[in-house]
A and B are shown apart, each in its own frame.
Chain A
Amino acid sequence: MSIDTIQEYVPIILKGFWITVRLFLWSLIFSTVAGFILALMRISSVAILRWISGLIGWLFRGIPLLLILFYAFFALPEISRSLMFDPFWAAVVGLSIWTAAYQSEAIRSGIIAVEKGQFEASEALGMTKRHYMRRIVIPQSIRITVPPFIGNAINTMKQTSLAAVITVPEMTLLARQIISEDFKVAEPLLALAFIYLVLTTLLLMVQLGLERIFRLKV
């Protein structure tokens, strides 16, 4: 094993870099929107909404992501031809639903951590629930939500590697191709690990930035 070979493999694997990044970003966007809706449903006063949200969370946190990806790619088209996605979008669907189940918990925990007095002060001033959720509660919940939210995002970033098994040509798939062509294992895997580390480190820096932005002014 040599540093030179590792350096040689990095640019080859980087050809899958943008696919990994796009997989991650689309999944992050969809899962954030869906997670937010699921979180609001979970704290709704309407029982059926709470129930549906709880069921979705229980289901997609309770089964392996690999299974969800298989299902999105191989099984959905059997249900309806309109649900046939190319591998990339099938992976986005699976990753998004799986991540949303976790993000909804991160977002919900932020909302319920806002002090009861904030709700009471808002109601005593005659504000509608819609207004004080938007202006008072959710802005304060973001500060609490950021760390678990980024934690989930980092997980999703790493789990994009599972898309390789449904033939998405992202970085892990390219690394596996190198292994089967060059019969070298350590170098391509180290190169791959290095790139993932760079990406997850960037996310940790985003977390520090967000924590600074939403810090309460003391």
Chain B
Amino acid sequence: MASLVSVKGLKMSFGDLEILKGIDLEVRRGEVLSIIGPSGSGKTTILRCLNLLERPTGGQIDIDGQNLCNEDSDGQMEYATKRNLREIRKGIGLVFQQFNLFPHMTALENIVEAPMAVNNVDRSTAVEAARDLLESVGLAKWADHYPLQMSGGQQQRVAIARALAMEPAVMLFDEVTSAVDPELVGEILLVMRHLAEQGMTMLVVTHEMNFAADVSDRVLFMDNGVVVEEGPATQVLGAPQNARTRGFLRAVRDRAPMDEEQQ
């Protein structure tokens, strides 16, 4: 089956700092891929490159048959035009670590804004869809509340609903549980689990190893801007081949410091 997300040789540098050193990854339709790794390894940068919030300095990205960027034979980068990019972004749902809800709008208004403005959906249809989405994330009664009146877990579920309202082909989750209190992590993961069960294609950057193990089809471990190990979740998390993967998993599970040389 063809890949929905295809990344080849992705490179990203900020000045002299090389964040991504040539990443290849493929995500098939309906697949859930978790990306794990120590902080600073470049996980988040991959997601941000996938809808050109960061412009890669090398490599090629295709999503759902549309080209976001590629490198010509001289090594010059070509990016999707503004208009094409907006078209492509409609099909990519992105959920941020910090939620980034619009604080001057209610939960419902947050969700209907983009479908109405970008997809020209009429208001009553958009509102009806938004109410269904709020119900599916367990927030039917919170439609008229403002983001700052909600807990982090609730805000993040609204943010997921907002991204889903555009009916994207793929959802990107960028450490979506890292900014919420521990007891609220579960409600977000539950929503994501349902999404995965419904067949949504998902790329999940996460520190939740149990979630990665239970929900993802494949897990990718990266460190220092390269993919160190990749494979079925059971293999990468259960029987990692690489010493760095083992060191990282031990550090996460036992909350023990990583060995110096493995950092």
Chain A interface (Cβ within 8 Å of chain B)?
Answer: 115, 117-118, 120-121, 123-128, 131, 135-136, 139-140, 216-218
Contacts and interface: CB of A to CB of B under 8 A. Distances in A.
B49 to A, nearest CB: 13
B114 A120 contact: no
Given A124-B51, A126-B166, A217 B146 contact: yes
Contacts, number: 63
Given A127-B117, A216-B103, A217-B148, A120 B53 contact: yes
Contacts of B102: 118, 121, 136, 140
B100 A120 contact: yes
B100 A127 contact: no
B100 to A, nearest CB: 4
B48 to A, nearest CB: 8
Given A128-B86, A216-B148, A140 B117 contact: no
Q: Which of A118, A126, A216, A218 has the most CB of B within 10 A?
A: A126
B104 A140 contact: yes
A90 to B, nearest CB: 40
B243 interface: no
Interface string B86-110: 1101101010101011111000000
Given A127-B114, A216-B104, 11 more contacts: A120-B53, A121-B94, A121-B100, A123-B53, A124-B51, A124-B53, A124-B92, A125-B114, A127-B86, A135-B113, A218-B146
Contacts of A140: 102-104
A135 B117 contact: yes
Contacts of A121: 94, 96, 100-102
A122 B100 CA distance: 9
A126 B53 contact: no
B118 interface: yes
Contacts of B90: 125-126
B149 interface: yes
Nearest to A129: B82
A216 B146 contact: yes
Contacts of B149: 217-218
A135 B102 CA distance: 10
B43 interface: no
B151 to A, nearest CB: 13
